[in-house]
Every structure is written in structure tokens, then in C-alpha cells.
């Protein structure tokens, strides 16, 4: 059993006994500022901002401040265990490395470094369709780790089948179907630069490593990157995606299916009817619809409505250990982390990702203990109160 909070002790010991301080900040709230100092403008403009004026992203973060933890005392928490099982996947903690596209913008090793970091800490890695490294390369980097595959459903049926078959063959156990990005949101920072990495053959490694996709090209992607980018643009937007197509997917994937991007209770209820196994309450970190509701604000209602029938996961706005605790207390079975680990990737590759994860897990562990909790099962709504401010 791992006490992630012991990471705090190791930091103090290194500082006091060996004069060694952390290579990167332990203040998770300042990660974005530190990463901004090393990221090139194109990468910074793609990774950090959100749709429109960013109101949804701000709402995501602000929603966590509306909930305050009420610590309980004299509850034996000397033995703490964050481990859990989500849809048959064992996890050292209820935290997954969520699917983030084009990670090579942050670091040349991109998804490979992230997949290795996840395996090193016993966390689940979720590989994005829009990756800078292929399904198979990420699986090899992840080794014996636990991994899920996130699907952007292409308009080309045979290509979709190929993605699914490749992911299953490479050991990805759960399929995460993203629903909220059938069209790209309005992203001024990218638009002002006229910058979309996919059109430059970056972030489409899953496509250019696929025989079905390559059959669509006049020339290999390495000879004609622009041609590959345009071919991608011909299969990626899928605004015609509908509930009626889910049985087709069910027939071609024999593992659990999770629908990512739900924010309305009725959609969650419809997911139950569709026979999937889970949902991710998410607004894509605010990157799709400006002015949308904060994901945390709708989590309790969705968890209450379908939590007994579906696994309920959560992302959007998570920046710290207490944020994870609050999401779990409000009904999430586990949380997907996004931007923070990408900032770690930018700062230090695999070591940077591991640093961010160790700090976040230590903060979660210590916050749970100081609040009188020993396991994720102790994180119930009664642990929180709404702020009156």
C-alpha cells in the first residue's frame, strides 16, 4: 500500500539533509505560468487557451471554490489507501491521465513520456486519437501499465474500424468516445495565428500509421505533409454523429465504452439506455463552447441520476489534490487530469509529468487524511458545504 503523502516527507528530507530542492515547483496552481516560460508561442496558444473569451474555462476553476471541505477529527487515518478499480481497470488512485492531443507540442517525446509516467505510478493512461505518436508506440511505452483509448469517431467507417482493432490489439481495455468535439470550437488564439497543427501533419500519427488512411493519400505523409493534413480534415469533423450509431460501435468493441463530454442529465440517462458502461462529465476543459456550464456544477445531478447504473467520471478545471477530492465527494468514481500534467511534460518530459502527478497525489492523500478520510469511499457529499460567498 502506497501513502502518496510520503512524497512530502522525501522532499523535506532532501532539502534538509542533502540541500536538494525540487527541480520544479510544488505549487500546482503556478504550473501554467512556469510552463509558459518554456513553451513556444504556437504550443502555448494551442495548449492553454479555451474557446471564445475563456468564460467556460474560468467557470470550471471557479466552481471548485464554491465547495469547501469540512474536516472531521479523531478518525483514524493512519492507514490510507487510494487504490480503486474502474470498469475492471485497477488503479493506484482514482486519477487517470486524460486524453490530451498533440502532446509533442509540449515535448518531443509527447505521449510516450506520458504513457511511461502513468505506468510508473500505477495510473491509467488514456491515448488520444489526435496523438503525436501512434497507438502502438504509446502502448509500447506504457508497457505493463493500464491504458484506455479515446476515439474521435471519423466519418470514414473503415478507418474507424481500423482504429478500434488496432487499439484492442495493443492492449487498450476501455474505449472513451468523445462527443463534444464533432466540430472544433472557436479558438481565437489559434485563429489569430492561423495555426492548426493537424494541417501540418502534427498530432495525426494514429492516422498516418494506419493502412486505411494511407490508402486515401496520393503520396506518403512524410513526402506530402500538407496532403496528409488535408486528408485528415476530410475525415475528422463528424457533426452528423448521433445516438443511433452507438450500436454499430458496440458491435465492434468488446470492452467497456465510456461517453465523454456529457453535461445534461437527460444525455446521461440516454447513455444508460444506449447500453454503455460509463460517462465522463466534461466540457472539454472549456475548449468547445464558450459560456457553457461548469462541469462541476452538473456533476452531482448526473451522479444522482445515473450513478447506480453507470460509472461516472469527471474532468474540466481540476488543478489540485483538493479539486480531485471535491469531484470524488460530489459523485465521480474517478477524475481525468488534463492540462496540469501537460505543463509537467513541457517542463521536464517524463520526469516532469511524474513530478506533477506525485505532487497532486500527495496533496490528495494528505488532504484526505487531514479531513478524516482513509479511502475514496469516505469521500461523500456530506464532507463538503457550499460557500456563501
Residues known to be catalytic: 284
CB 95 within 8 A of CB 334: yes
Query: Which residue is it, cell 506533477?
Result: 356
Q: Dihedral of CA 326/292/29/359: which sign? A: positive
* Separation between Cα atoms, residue 97 and residue 113, nearest integer Å: 12
DSSP E strand boundaries for the chain = 67-69, 84-86, 89-91, 95-97, 124-127, 147-151, 175-178, 257-262, 278-281, 311-314, 334-337, 384-386
Give the contacts of 60 (CB within 8 A, at least 6 positions apart). 283, 285, 286, 294, 295, 296, 316, 317
Q: Within a 10 A sphere around the Cβ of 141, how many other Cβ atoms?
A: 24
Q: For the chain, first and last CA: distance in Å?
A: 39
3-state helix, strand, coil in the chain (%, to 5): 45, 10, 40
Cα–Cα distances in angstroms (integers) from residue 342 to residues 41, 113, 161, in the given order? 15, 10, 29
Cα(35)–Cα(44) distance, integer angstroms: 8
Instruction: State how far the Cα of 166 lies from the Cα of 236, in Å rounded to an integer.
Output: 18
**How many residues are present in the chain?**
389
Residue among 116, 29, 78, 103 at smallest CA distance from 375: 78
Check residue 251 and give left, alpha or beta (phi > 0: left; psi -120 to 50: alpha). Answer: alpha
- Cα 298 to Cα 75: distance, rounded to the nearest angstrom: 31
Amino acid at each position: 500500500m502506497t501513502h502518496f503523502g510520503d512524497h512530502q516527507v522525501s522532499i523535506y528530507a532532501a532539502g534538509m539533509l542533502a540541500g536538494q530542492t525540487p527541480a520544479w515547483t510544488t505549487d500546482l496552481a503556478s504550473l501554467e505560468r512556469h510552463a509558459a516560460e518554456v513553451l513556444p508561442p504556437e504550443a502555448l496558444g494551442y495548449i492553454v487557451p479555451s474557446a471564445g473569451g475563456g468564460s467556460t474555462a474560468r467557470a470550471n476553476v471557479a466552481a471548485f471554490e464554491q465547495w469547501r471541505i469540512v474536516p472531521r477529527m479523531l478518525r483514524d487515518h493512519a492507514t490510507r489507501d487510494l487504490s480503486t478499480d474502474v470498469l475492471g481497470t485497477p488503479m493506484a488512485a482514482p486519477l487517470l491521465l486524460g486524453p490530451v492531443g498533440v502532446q509533442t507540442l509540449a515535448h518531443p517525446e509527447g505521449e510516450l513520456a506520458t504513457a511511461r509516467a502513468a505506468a510508473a505510478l500505477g495510473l491509467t493512461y488514456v491515448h488520444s486519437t489526435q496523438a503525436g505518436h501512434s497507438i502502438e508506440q504509446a502502448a509500447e511505452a506504457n508497457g505493463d501499465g493500464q491504458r484506455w483509448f479515446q476515439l474521435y469517431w471519423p466519418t470514414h467507417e473503415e478507418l474507424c474500424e481500423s482504429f478500434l482493432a488496432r487499439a484492442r490489439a495493443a492492449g487498450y481495455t476501455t474505449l472513451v468516445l468523445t462527443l463534444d468535439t464533432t466540430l472544433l470550437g472557436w479558438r481565437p488564439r489559434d485563429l489569430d495565428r492561423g495555426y492548426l497543427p493537424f494541417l501540418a501533419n502534427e498530432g495525426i500519427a494514429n492516422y498516418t500509421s494506419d493502412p486505411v488512411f494511407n490508402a486515401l493519400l496520393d503520396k506518403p505523409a512524410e513526402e506530402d505533409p500538407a496532403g496528409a493534413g488535408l486528408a485528415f480534415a476530410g475525415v475528422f469533423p463528424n457533426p452528423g454523429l448521433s445516438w443511433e450509431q452507438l450500436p454499430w460501435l458496440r458491435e465492434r468493441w468488446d470492452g467497456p465504452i465510456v461517453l465523454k463530454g456529457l453535461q445534461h442529465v437527460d444525455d446521461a440517462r440516454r447513455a444508460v439506455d444506449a447500453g454503455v458502461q460509463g460517462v465522463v462529465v466534461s466540457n472539454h476543459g472549456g475548449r468547445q463552447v464558450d459560456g457553457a456550464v461548469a462541469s462541476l456544477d452538473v456533476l452531482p445531478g448526473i451522479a444522482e441520476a445515473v450513478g447506480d447504473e453507470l460509472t461516472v467520471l469527471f474532468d474540466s478545471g481540476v488543478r489540485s489534490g483538493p479539486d480531485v477530492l471535491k469531484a470524488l465527494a460530489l459523485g465521480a468514481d474517478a477524475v481525468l487530469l488534463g492540462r496540469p500534467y501537460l505543463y509537467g511534460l513541457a517542463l521536464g518530459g517524463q520526469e516532469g509529468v511524474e513530478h506533477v502527478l506525485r505532487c497532486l497525489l500527495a496533496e490528495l492523500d494528505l488532504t484526505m487524511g487531514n479531513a478524516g478520510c482513509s479511502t475514496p469511499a469516505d469521500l461523500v457529499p456530506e464532507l463538503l458545504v457550499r460557500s456563501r460567498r
